[in-house]
Structure 1
Amino acid sequence: MAKVVLLSGNTQRPSKSRALAAFIGRSLARHADVELLSLDLLDAGRSLGGAYTRDELSTEARAVVEAIENADAIVVTTPVYKGSYPGLFKHLIDFVDPRALAGKPVLLSATGGSQRHSLVVEHQLRPLFGFFSAQISAYAIFAVDDEFVNYVPVADKLRERIERATMLFGEAF
């Protein structure tokens, strides 16, 4: 059974990004034998932003970093703020050992208010995880606010994209 971390860059709950990650996880579970662990910036705690080195991380933040490093695969979902992922999300990723993600399957996804934000996946998330030499899925997911109702992805085309992406991603491990 593969351990898959559903990592979301949200800073509040409920969150469309966390909801998308959960929905992707459930879809993935239909295609692969996986154990899912949902984590977000709130799980790392407020002290994350005050840490300059890994030694300064709180117990909660260190647990999130170690879960990312020890996962067999990762689903990354982040909200888009002003054309980018949240700075605190990047700060968390900066604590991940670069060798820990080498060859690790990663599925990228993001949520945003409009399609104008969709390039964040290709222009920022893909290079970020490419730096780590992760095995990045060719198929990414971007969802806009109007594709959700009460934090549930309801748009048929979004559900189809998720199904296709998770079917392919499940073959990576």
Structure 2
Amino acid sequence: MKLLGISGTIIGAKTSILVQKVLDEAKKLAPEIDVEMLDLRDYQMSLCDGRDPAAYPDDTKKVIDLVSSADFYLIGTPIFQGSMTGALKNLFDHIPPQAMRNKVMGFVANGGTYQHYLVIENQLKPIAGYFRAYVAPGFVYAHADHFNKQNEIIDEDVLSRISNLAQELVHMQTALKGASSVSNQ
């Protein structure tokens, strides 16, 4: 089983720190899980225009293949102007809907106001619905105040929610994998 963490921004560090922390917690809970980080800062992706992924001149096809091959996901984004990043939306636009169908998905986000957590409920979860993914019931939203000057997460409640989200992801994926192996017999 491969858990893919996606840091859906091309700037800043807090989102990738949040994503990595959940991945680390999931790996502690289930060492047999392969975890991988897809940090959009490390890739060049074209804007989605509907062409064959192989025709893009950059990392676009590689990223699509990486996302499509994962068994479950943790998706993170900073919140800019009350919305997810354009980089993350562009990634979603590139992914064929069947690639995420019936897979578990969890969310983390960070931002500068305490109200931005609503983006997870009002934008990210509906996208998961479009992909027909199973959504972990919990999520993590971290405000800039939850980090110290070295970008370490210092808020105990946020750290607790990170642990809970990792547990939910592992539990849901394990149960789903078990159910699918039973139904295939």
Is TM (by shorter chain) over 0.5?
Answer: yes
**Take 2:108 and 2:155, find their aligned partners in 1: how far apart are those partners?**
16
**Aligned match of 1:140:** 139
Q: 2:46 touches 2:58 (CA, 8 Å); kept in 1?
A: no
**Aligned match of 2:114:** 115
**Take 2:116 and 2:140, find their aligned partners in 1: how far apart are those partners?**
12
Deviation of 1:59 after TM superposition, in Å, equals 4.4
Instruction: Specify the SS of the correspondent of 2:59.
Output: helix
**Take 2:165 and 2:118, find their aligned partners in 1: how far apart are those partners?**
17
Aligned length: 169
Deviations 1:126-151 (A, max 9, x none): 00111000111111111111111222
**Aligned match of 2:157:** 157
**Aligned match of 2:59:** 60
Q: 2:9 touches 2:87 (CA, 8 Å); kept in 1?
A: no
Q: TM-score, normalised by structure 2?
A: 0.86
Amino acid at match of 1:20: L
Confirm or deny that 1:96 pairs with 2:87: no
**Aligned match of 2:16:** 18
Instruction: Specify the SS of the correspondent of 1:77.
Output: strand
More strand by share: 1
Deviation of 1:55 after TM superposition, in Å, equals 4.1
Q: 1:43 touches 1:64 (CA, 8 Å); kept in 2?
A: no
**Aligned match of 1:30:** 28
Deviations 1:62-89 (A, max 9, x none): 1111111110111000010000001121
Deviations 1:31-76 (A, max 9, x none): 123211111222331x423x52334433422111111111011100
**Take 1:64 and 1:41, find their aligned partners in 2: how far apart are those partners?**
9
Confirm or deny that 1:124 pairs with 2:109: no
**Take 1:55 and 1:83, find their aligned partners in 2: how far apart are those partners?**
33
- Give unpaired runs (5+ residues) of structure 2: 174-185
Q: CA RMSD in A?
A: 1.4
